[in-house]
Structure 1
Amino acid sequence: MAAMSPPGIRAVLAGAGVAMMGEAKVVTAVLQLTKKPPSDVNLLYLGTATYDLASFRQKQTGAFADRGVSITTLDVACKTPAQAVVDDKIERADIILVSGGNTLFAVDRWRKAAMVEPLRRAMARGATLCGGSAGAGCWFDALHSDSMDPDWYRTIMLAGGGAAAEKAPGEASAAGEKREWDYIRVPGLGFLPGLLCPHHDRVQSNGVLRSTDFAGMLLRHPGETGLAIDHFAALVLYDGEYQVLSLPDKPGSLTSEGANEPGKGVPAVWIKSVAADGITIQETALPERGPLAALLHPARDIVEDSRVEVVRAANPSHDL
């Protein structure tokens, strides 16, 4: 189970990766947390969840490069680099940007590459953590994930198919085609407590609204507190506080009455838990600002999802 995060943690965690990491408001928020001029900032991009494909890297780092930020990569999706390379690149990073994509695969590869403790040290020293979708959820105990979607498997994407040839994470497939796969709870790094749901207000190619499926997941994992981030929202964490960053011209789930109605409101972040009756989901939209302790609650109990091993077998993380 995750311990409470260091009070000095700095992070910008968005509901979407490609759709958010190029937004000027998000880029500015990330750079402000470094407390350095952009020309002095070194951003380390971890594109493991999208198999280190150049197209995804450009989409998520281009706006930072345009501000004068130095971009470094650490590619581990296919080959395990030397430990000295891993340690050096992570140690020199002012920003660590994790791509969206297949979270289960990425976290498994990071463990194989002995990256977990170097990443934990980076968080502790104040490096800014950022990313959307997988790049937001990977830092938590676990997340509501589309890692079971075959379009996000390594062999398919490296061949130029699947998500590599389609839309960004959190967007339905072309022509409304419905595909047969389920969301699953996948383990993250455990640096932050909670079960995180990205793309909370979106329907993906399986035709299932993530908000609805997340409620069912919480009922199966009632010992965990849920955090749900709309596609066009983000959590900014700094100095023991949080701020909800929302793009006001984009759709979201929070109505003017405070209800959760995806597509009918503004982008928001929700905290969710199972009520004492065991069948009711309690959900509250986070205020714009507040103490970090209000949203990070260590789990009372963690139950792993047995389907994770099925996905690992279908999308293995061994070296190529």
Structure 2
Amino acid sequence: MSSRRRMALLGGGFSTDEDGLLDDWVLGLTGRSRPRVCFVPTASGDAEGYVERFHAAFEGRECEASVLRLSRRTLDDAALRSFLLSQDVVYVGGGSTANLLAVWRAHGVDRLLREAYERGTLLCGISAGANCWAEASHTDSFGPLGPLRDGLGLLPGSVCPHYDSEPGRRPSYRAAVADGSLPPGWAVDDGVGALFVDEAVDQVVGRTPAAQLYRVERDGTGGIRERALPAVPLTAGLLGGP
């Protein structure tokens, strides 16, 4: 397992896509012939349909797929630590970012994921599963879209998912960064995969031609500077490297 600290922000995957391109990319990043992949559906309340989609998507791939359900936890603290630290990939699903963080802290999962990250486990996820790694995020956890100054803080700054697909996301996130409600950060189009190594962008891939990752910052005059990072088109057979 790599000793570098790595995470991937996903704008898709088995949750939303049929082609499996982003999921294959994630598996390829491990450099393992049969990586261990744990799905964590906390943000959806461990929704059974979500778990079933994960199993349907990953059990046919060259990996060891498992699920961590905290609503029906069966592992004691020592076993939970051993289980999470044995994974090559921790893949977090979408739902409520605020609820996810609260439940993780109640079970000590936030500390364990930080330890796994420091040891080289690839952390990734979509929507709330992307938001959770940053210092802050743009979320609808409390109803209307707005800033959440909370997160694990493994990725400096903020994250905004669904940047191109949900009405109001782009102007609301830009406004929150402009007025300081959120720190500068990363806006993720649907269809993008962004790998960060030691908190710096290492790879950006896109499963659609228009999908992009954006760096959104204040421009020093009260406005916003938004910069798109080039994305490598993701096609069948293209996998990331360790």
TM-score, scaled relative to structure 1: 0.65
RMSD of the TM alignment (CA)?
A: 2.4
Q: 1:81·1:113 contact (CA, 8 Å) conserved in 2?
A: no
Q: 1:269 corresponds to which letter in structure 2?
A: L
Distance (Å, rounded) in 2 between the aligned partners of 1:224 and 1:37: 38
2:6 corresponds, among 10, 26, 43, to 10
Cα deviations across residues 118-138 of structure 1 (Å, max 9, x unaligned)?
Answer: 111111111111211111111
1:243 corresponds, among 194, 198, 203, to 203
Identity %: 28
Can you give the 5+ residue segments of structure 1 that lack an aligned partner in the other structure? Answer: 1-5, 150-180, 250-265, 290-320
Q: 2:30 corresponds to which letter in structure 1?
A: T
Q: Residue in 1 aligned with 2:230?
A: 287
Deviation, 1:14, is 1.0
Q: 1:34 corresponds to which letter in structure 2?
A: T
Does structure 1 residue 63 correspond to structure 2 residue 6?
no
Structure showing greater radius of gyration is 1
Q: 2:206·2:231 contact (CA, 8 Å) conserved in 1?
A: no
Kindly indicate which of the two structures has a greater share of residues assigned to strand.
Answer: 2
Q: 1:80·1:112 contact (CA, 8 Å) conserved in 2?
A: no
Q: 2:147·2:181 contact (CA, 8 Å) conserved in 1?
A: no
Q: Residue in 2 aligned with 1:175?
A: none
1:202–1:288 Cα change, 3 Å: closer
Q: 1:15·1:200 contact (CA, 8 Å) conserved in 2?
A: no
Q: Residue in 1 aligned with 2:186?
A: 227
Question: Relative to structure 2, which stretch is displaced further, 213-222 or 128-137?
Answer: 213-222
1:285–1:121 Cα change, 3 Å: same
Kindly indicate which of the two structures has a greater share of residues assigned to helix.
Answer: 1
Cα deviations across residues 45-100 of structure 1 (Å, max 9, x unaligned)?
Answer: 11100111121123245322211322222211466953123212211111101001
Number of equivalenced pairs: 229
Q: Residue in 1 aligned with 2:16?
A: 19
Matched residue SS, 2:16: helix
Does structure 1 residue 183 correspond to structure 2 residue 177?
no
1:62–1:81 Cα change, 3 Å: same
Q: 2:12·2:22 contact (CA, 8 Å) conserved in 1?
A: no
Cα deviations across residues 250-273 of structure 1 (Å, max 9, x unaligned)?
Answer: xxxxxxxxxxxxxxxx11010011
Distance (Å, rounded) in 2 between the aligned partners of 1:194 and 1:7: 23
Matched residue SS, 2:125: strand
Distance (Å, rounded) in 2 between the aligned partners of 1:196 and 1:101: 15
Q: 1:189 corresponds to which letter in structure 2?
A: L
Can you give the 5+ residue segments of structure 2 that lack an aligned partner in the other structure? Answer: 233-242
Q: Residue in 2 aligned with 1:103?
A: 97
1:30 corresponds, among 26, 44, 54, to 26
